[in-house]
Amino acid sequence: MYLDDITVSPTYRQRGIGRGLIGELKRLIADTDSAEIWVGTSVDNEAAQALFASTGARNISVRYIEFLYRQDSFA
């Protein structure tokens, strides 16, 4: 399973919301064919890294590269 994005509004951070969302996702897919959850973040997003590590994720890479297609390249 790919966790595309998890964002908590700054007003509500540090209240366990992100941890709860990840916990619920793990609970929901526990009895499915999904063998793992993959999530990525940028190397400078320390808050996300701390959240993922604290909820049982294992760091498997030291960098994260994103690609973006702009509309002018579609043709």
Residue 38 forms beta bridges with which residues?
A: 2
Residue in this structure with the two tokens 């940028």, named with its chain if needed: 42
Q: Is the pLDDT of residue 9 over 90?
A: yes
pTM given for the model: 0.78
Rounded distance between C-alpha atoms, residue 61 and residue 41, angstroms: 10
65 band by pLDDT with thresholds 50, 70 and 90: low
